[in-house]
Amino acid sequence: MGSVTAPFVLVVTGMAFEARIAAGPHCRVVHGVRGLALEQEVSAMASRQCMGILSFGVAGGLEPTLAPGDVVLADAVCAPGERYDTDTTWLRAMHAALPHARIGTAAGADQPVLSVAAKASLQRATGALCVDMESHLSARMAAACRLPFAACRVVIDPASRAVPAAAAAGMGDDGKTDVAAVLGGLLRAPRELPALLRLAGDAAAARGALRAARLALGDAFGLRDMRSQQADF
């Protein structure tokens, strides 16, 4: 008799450190792929034992009052020509575990949103609190697979600060930080050092908040399988 896969939450992240924080019982984590490759991987993993899809990780701040380390729970995710509501029951469960989190729209983008002007423009157009590069793809696949969807994101770079070009150069497509690319960018533009150091501090705050959120949400990220009594949470 073949083994039976236990119910799980499918967690979609962008960076390797986000995936490490997300890992745990009753979940499977996808990271380091975007676009069509991400959609194909999520679709392949969204079996009948998948309870829901969660977008989890850091995000760029769009709402000016949000600071590094602030947690956003999305009630909807928007992208050009698309809008997806998150699962209300799951959202309520996550907010009960994270009562200080902000609830609102999260924007999805296919390319990094790096400048202060670009962030302001996106916020005006969407009213979104934050932006990342995975939530809209995750929401799209959840809708296609008819699965509950949620998004939990922590602000890393606030709306008032641009992401230094050296840091952007280090965002590897595989979800890992390309240190050589960061150093190369810094050599080309040494004036970016103060901004890069400030971003490092923001990143430390965001990582700490992401770990705390993961711990508060528990093994199944606040989602309980209402369709099966086989899971033992």
> What is the CATH classification number for the domain harbouring 143?
3.40.50.1580
- Integer Rg of the chain from CA: 17
Structure token digits, residue 134: 């995975």
Residue 168 within a domain? no
Residue 209 within a domain? yes
The residue ranges of the chain whose pLDDT is under 50 are 1-3, 225-233
Residue 198 within a domain? no
Q: How far apart are CA 59 and CA 69, in angstroms?
A: 10
Structure token digits, residue 99: 């009562």
Greatest CA separation found in the chain? 63
Residue 174 within a domain? no
Residue 13: CB atoms within 10 A of its CB come to: 26
- Cα(first)–Cα(last) distance of the chain, in Å? 24
Q: Are 150 and 54 in contact (CB under 8 A)?
A: yes
Question: Would you state the pLDDT for residue 177?
Answer: 64
Residue 107 within a domain? yes
Into how many domains does the chain fold? Answer: 1
User: Which domain, by its residues, includes 49?
Assistant: 8-163+204-217
Question: Would you state the pLDDT for residue 46?
Answer: 76
Residue 186 within a domain? no
Residue 21 within a domain? yes
Q: How far apart are CA 14 and CA 35, in angstroms?
A: 11
Question: Would you state the pLDDT for residue 232?
Answer: 43
Residue 187 within a domain? no
Q: What is the pLDDT of residues 170-211, one digit of tens each?
A: 565 655 665 655 555 665 766 767 777 788 899 999 999 999
